[in-house]
Structure 1
Amino acid sequence: MSQRTGRAALARHAAVAGGEVAAELFRTDVAVETKSQKTDVVTEADRAAQRRVEEIIAAEYPDEALVGEEEDALKTIPDGTAWIVDPIDGTNNYVRELRTWATAVACVEDGEPVAAANALPALDDVYTADDDGTYRNGHEVSVAETTDPERAAVVPTVWWPMDRRDEYARACEAIVERFADLRRPGSAQAALAELAAGSTAGVITNVQTNPWDTIAGVHLVRQAGGRVTDLEGARWRHNSRGLVASNGHLHDDVLAAARTIDG
């Protein structure tokens, strides 16, 4: 087994284990706290799931950096090898007892993802990506072959705060004017996983995203044959502003929609 193959297996193991911790508390009276704004919520399930992921990674790679959404984990990506963790991506879904939320784990080398896993335990799905491809529950998947915008669904993702709702509205308008339909699963990692598996044709935002919200899903999309850029059409990196992901065939259309969000 190559080192990268081993890292992909570890990402899957850690994501599944963290997801199991979160699943144990799903649809219970777990306390909900608010962070920076009313829609930015956190629960003990987030913290417990991240601790479980950290334990598993540290057991194999105790000297490698870990970037995570919760607690005292790093919040920016260092040089070298690092692990990126979101214990519950879609916490607003989680606290509303909706099933679409993910435990995301990715490994990066100098900021570039090399392995990823998104576990969605409430949906019984695990998405993984290694050097060879992207898989859902062990079966290889690929982006949709759709070339007609009027047959495609596109997702506006991440969250626009209350003082930026004009951008949220423009994102939705841009999609419904150009494509067959709009989807919003409420989890960026789930949205990117679904794009990688061919369920949708694009995912857009003009927001500079947190690395834990997107890196694992970006790797899933790329390894499934899709394309991910910033708003200028350059290759997306973790510090890019905006994220435009597509099946590749419709990237120009998806990029055009994303570019209207700024107004």
Structure 2
Amino acid sequence: MLISDAELAVAAAQAGAAVVRARYGTALARFQKSAGDFATAADIEAERAILDVLRAARPDDAVTGEESGRVGAVGAQRMWLVDPLCGTLNYAVRTTLVAVNVALRAGSDVTVAASADPFADEVFWTDGARAYVRRDGADEALAPSAGSHLVDVNLDTRDPSDPNFRAGRLIADPGFLGRFHPRVVSTTLAVAWVAAGRRAAYVTDGDLRDNVHFAAGLTLCRAAGCVLTGIQGEPLHTGAGGLVVAADQETHAALLALIGTAAPR
């Protein structure tokens, strides 16, 4: 029986999550990628497990992995985007705030996605129409909510010279602090939490198009009914880039106004 793309994404994310759990707390070799950025043996082994699942079910699809890069036919219409361990630095210092992300871009759209939390044993997933969280084999529909007033802000600024946004200015803004409570978990698991109602919003700068870290979370949030734009309110993946994803229009509008106020002058 042919497995659906959505169930394949879930199975692949679960395979990666199993490796991440098993390797947690063990001695891990580190592989330097750039200044301040590295992969561990767990990243590489988790990606291998994910790719094994995908290749067995969809041998003709292309794949872009965080660690192994792009493989498959040039110009392939189906591309899996794989981030085997989002939050590597957290994991390396034995902090369990990490995610395993798998998403499928078919043509120009990301159609299905899964984001697994290896330590809560949850998988947030979408078939492109609805979004769910799977626990113990049971699925529950995701329902965004701004009630927590918690906003995750990515402090890993991608371009220090970008004049459009400074995360530090935003979270120090009195207007922000009067309405929201900043959080920094340093993993895109927090993007899935917006879809699940565990965060009111998430904010980051950077070019997120076909980004293996963000593709799954963005697809989850869109299917759950969140509000998504670029950092200045423009359509996603245009203009200044970046992301403001919020549980509702009111929260989104408030954050855009604060981002404008906190922009460098």
Q: What SS does the aligned partner of 2:123 have?
A: strand
Whichever residue aligns with residue 95 of structure 2, its letter is: L
**Match of 1:99, SS?**
coil
Hey, what's the Cα distance between the residues in 1 that align with 2:161 and 2:18? 35
Contact (CA 8 Å) 1:115, 1:130: kept in 2 or not?
yes
CA distance in 1, matches of 2:194, 2:262: 20
Q: CA deviation at 1:67?
A: 1.2
Q: Against the structure 1 CA distance between its residues 169 and 11, is the aligned structure 2 distance closer, same or farther, given a 3 Å change threshold?
A: same
CA drift of 1:257 comes to 3.3
Contact 1:85–1:104 (8 Å) recurs in 2: yes
Contact in 1 for aligned 2:154/2:167 (Cα 8 Å) = no
Question: Hey, what does 2:181 align to over in structure 1?
Answer: 181
Aligned-pair identity in percent equals 28
Task: Describe the SS at the equivalent of 2:233.
Answer: coil
- The letter for the 2-side match of 1:197 is A
Distance 1:82 1:101, change over 3 A: same
Report what 2:145 is aligned to.
144
How many residues get paired? 253
- 1:107 is displaced (CA, Å) by 0.7
TM, length-normalised to structure 2: 0.85
Tell me if 1:73 matches 2:70: yes
1:157-202 deviation digits (Å, cap 9, x = unpaired): 26126957992312322474353301111102x1111111001111
Please give the TM-score of this superposition, normalised by the length of structure 1. Answer: 0.86
2: CA distance, partners of 1:57 / 1:142 = 29
Q: Does the alignment pair 1:224 with 2:224?
A: yes
Matched, 1:86 2:83: yes
> Could you say which residue in structure 2 is the equivalent of 1:12?
10
Query: Hey, which of these two has a bigger chunk of helix by percent?
Result: 1
Alignment map for 1:1-263 (pairs within 5 Å): 6-38=4-36, 40-73=37-70, 80-137=77-134, 138-144=139-145, 146=147, 152-157=149-154, 159-160=156-157, 167-174=166-173, 176-177=176-177, 179-188=179-188, 190-209=189-208, 211-237=211-237, 241-249=241-249, 250-259=251-260, 262-263=263-264
Q: Could you report, residue by residue, the CA deviation over 1:73-99 in whole angstroms, capped at 9, with x for unpaired residues?
A: 36xx95622110000001111101111
CA distance in 2, matches of 1:171, 1:49: 35
Deviates more, 1:11-20 or 1:59-68: 59-68
SS at match of 1:213: coil
Opposite residue 206 of structure 1, the aligned amino acid is D
